[in-house]
């Protein structure tokens, strides 16, 4: 089958022209991606390249593509270093926009569902565990969040000392622990439960309340506060 260049397609089928005439919301995922890619590869125009790329990642579609690393993107035929970096930046931009909107909708960090939503896109696809510490003031607004550790297989290395040194440094009145389960299942392990109890006790001694410990899974979460454990 003969491949047609984008400029050889009817105007209504060209992503740029379609966007200009109907707005970006009228474009399919493949058409949006074709606009970002700008050029195709040998034997494929940019739209055909975009359609193929969206079927080659897991999960299929934009979500899967935007969570690939640069080396993984460059393994896809038609994606070199420049296109790979552009896609990384598009993915990061979309995450930052989404997170900014989520943060604007959470004036005070008291609702576990909204807190989980704030971190969901950042943490649900991670292949390693991360433990983050949210530090809050008297109005439960976020002062700062800090990465406590990354890459361990369990939380046994998380000590109250390093966590509360960070909280005291930023004059936090209360804290929330956030960590992810790469398996996608947020159900707490015995170690998660033990560590949570230990952090609650340590915080009480320092006058810094542990408000919640939220475990991020794949589009789901577990809140110790919601379950009545804190």
Q: Start-end ranges of CATH 3.40.140.10 in the chain?
A: 107-223
Q: What is the pLDDT of residue 2?
A: 42
Give the sign of the dihedral formed by CA 110, CA 111, CA 117, CA 123.
positive
The residues of the chain scoring below 50 in pLDDT are: 1-2
107-223 is a CATH 3.40.50.450 domain: no
Backbone angles phi, psi at 8, to 5 degrees: -90, -10
| pLDDT tens digits, 64-73 | 777 788 898 8
The dihedrals phi and psi of 25, each to the nearest 5 degrees, come to -65, -20
Q: Which CATH architecture has domain 6-100?
A: Orthogonal Bundle (1.10)
Q: Where in the chain is the domain with CATH 1.10.150?
A: 6-100
Chain segment 180-200, per-residue pLDDT in tens: 998 889 999 998 999 899 999
- pTM above threshold 0.75: no
Q: What pLDDT is stored for residue 227 in this prediction?
A: 93
pLDDT for the residue 1 = 37
For tokens 């001694």, the residue is 205
Residue 106: the pLDDT is 53
Q: State residue 171 phi and psi, 5-degree precision.
A: 55, 40
Please state, in angstroms and rounded to a whole number, the distance separating the CA atoms of residues 164 and 174: 10
């Amino acid at each position: 089958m003969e491949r047609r260049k984008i400029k050889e397609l009817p105007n209504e089928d060209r992503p740029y022209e379609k966007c200009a005439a109907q707005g970006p919301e009228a474009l399919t995922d493949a058409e949006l991606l074709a606009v970002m890619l700008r050029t195709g590869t040998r034997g494929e125009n940019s739209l055909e390249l975009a359609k193929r790329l969206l079927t080659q990642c897991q999960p299929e579609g934009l979500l899967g593509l935007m969570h690939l690393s640069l080396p993984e993107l460059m393994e896809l035929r038609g994606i070199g270093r420049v296109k790979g970096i552009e896609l990384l930046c598009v993915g990061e931009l979309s995450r930052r926009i989404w997170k900014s909107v989520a943060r604007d909708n959470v004036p005070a960090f008291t609702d576990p569902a909204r807190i989980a939503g704030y971190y969901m896109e950042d943490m649900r696809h991670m292949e390693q565990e991360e433990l983050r510490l949210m530090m809050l003031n008297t109005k439960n607004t976020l002062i700062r969040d800090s990465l406590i550790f990354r890459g361990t297989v369990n939380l046994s290395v998380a000590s109250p000392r390093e966590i509360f040194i960070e909280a005291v440094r930023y004059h936090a009145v209360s804290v929330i622990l956030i960590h992810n389960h790469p398996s996608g299942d947020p159900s707490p392990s015995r170690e998660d439960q033990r560590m949570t109890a230990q952090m609650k006790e340590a915080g009480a001694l320092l006058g810094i309340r542990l408000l919640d410990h939220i475990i991020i899974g794949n589009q789901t979460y577990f809140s110790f506060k919601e379950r009545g454990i804190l």
